[in-house]
Structure formats: C-alpha cells, structure tokens
Amino acid sequence: MFNHCKHILLSQAVVVIQSTLIVLVLLSNTYAQSSVEPQILMEQTSKELIQAFMAKTEAIRQDPDVAHKLINDNLVPRINFKLMSRWVLGRNWKKATPEQQQDFIQEFKQLVVKFYSKALVDYLQSNELSEELITFIPFRGEIKNRYATVRSWVNPPNGSEPIKVNYDLYLSKKYGTWQVYDVTVEGISLVTTYRSSFKQIISQKGMDALIKELKDKTSNINSLGVKPEVAKKS
C-alpha cells in the first residue's frame, strides 16, 4: 500500500514542485496580517519567490544539497506539519503517545522535504521555471475559523491543459501566520493519499512500525526514481 501511495505521489511530484515549492514559501511575516486574505498574500509574493528559485537553478543542478537547503529553509516554516500530521493520522493521532506524535511529525517532515527536494532537482535537470507558472483564481467565500482555501491553475511548460491545484491554509495563533496543511491536485488530496496508506500500516504493524518505515523511506529517497514528468488529467 505504501508503494501504491508512492506511485500516486510520484505522478504528482512535478505539479506539486511547480506549485507547492514555489507557492507554499510565500507566507512571510511581512504580509501576515489578519486583515490580509491568504489569496492576496500569495499573489503579492509569488513573483519574488519564483525569481528566487529561478536564480538558483544552475546551483541546484550542480549541487542537489542546494535544493534541500532551500526547501528546508523556506518551505518547512510555511507548512503546519503538526496540523498536517493530525489530519494524516486521523483517529490514530489520539491513539498515539505524545512521544510517537512528535516522532511521527519529525519523520513525516523529513520525508516530505527530501522527497520534494529530489523531485525539484530532477525537474530542473531538463526544465526551466517560469513567472507564468501559476494563475490564481479569484478568492471565493469567507475565511472561517482561521481556515481558508486558495485555488489556482498550474500551467505546464509543455503547453498541456492547466492543472487545478488548491491550497488549504490555517492561520496559526502560535506563529501569527498563514500556513499550508494540505495541497489538492486535480481533486487528489496529499493528506488523504497519505492517510489511506498510513492507516493500513498502523492497523497491521502499529505506530512504531510506521515511524520506522518513514525513516527508512527517507534514507532511501534517492532510489525512488522521481521523473520530471508533468502529471496529466486522466
């Protein structure tokens, strides 16, 4: 089941790289005001961040560690890994001990960071980033209970049809900033995809086994074979 989950995630890797790695890092303290919608926040800073990634393209191609550091420094603080972990584990979150919860958050974070740093490296080997990469859809509805969804289209570099990518955000009281806790690509939720796989592992082997498996997967991430192919609509 974990391999099935991995296959789905790999098929979405470049889409999420194109969107998540560029857009999730947009949530800076400079614009984190309660009166500013996350939609505006993203649009105001997207161009600047895209240019930053573009400026480091050659360095990333020469040294993959540049990508890992860039993601770890810019992406990790913009994701609410605790909230994401709670959603991923579902009912199993409350069943886990505090130590297991913390271990899961740490290993899950490391897996995500290494997975997408490799995907970014592979993508940039034969592709270029573009300032026309993302088109934001006008914000609809209201922000309720500090939750919001920002919608966008990712425009593939090969001229294929735009791909719908939604970002679920939460306004953190602790940090006073909007943070992403889920990304949905063409209706497929990152959190839901992981949840179905992790739930089965926990039911069969237990929480500690899942944490160990995450650690092992992170150690072997370079053998996952991420390919720079844009996911297409079925």
For the chain, what is the radius of gyration of the CA atoms?
A: 17
Task: Name the percent of the chain in helix, strand, coil, to the closest 5.
Answer: 60, 15, 30
Tokens for 218, please give them. 């992170």
Q: Of 204, 213, 4, nearest to 92 (Cα)? A: 204
Global pTM?
Answer: 0.76
Closest CA to 187 of 166, 168, 161: 166
Distance set, CA 33 to CA 37, 117, 171, 178 (Å): 8, 30, 10, 9
The crossing angle, in degrees rounded to 10, of helices 190-205 and 2-11 is: 170
User: How confident is the model over 85-140, as pLDDT tens digits?
Assistant: 999 999 999 999 999 999 999 999 998 888 878 887 887 888 888 777 778 888 87
Which of 3.40.50.970, 3.40.605.10, 3.10.450.710, 3.40.190.10 is the CATH number of 2-218?
3.10.450.710
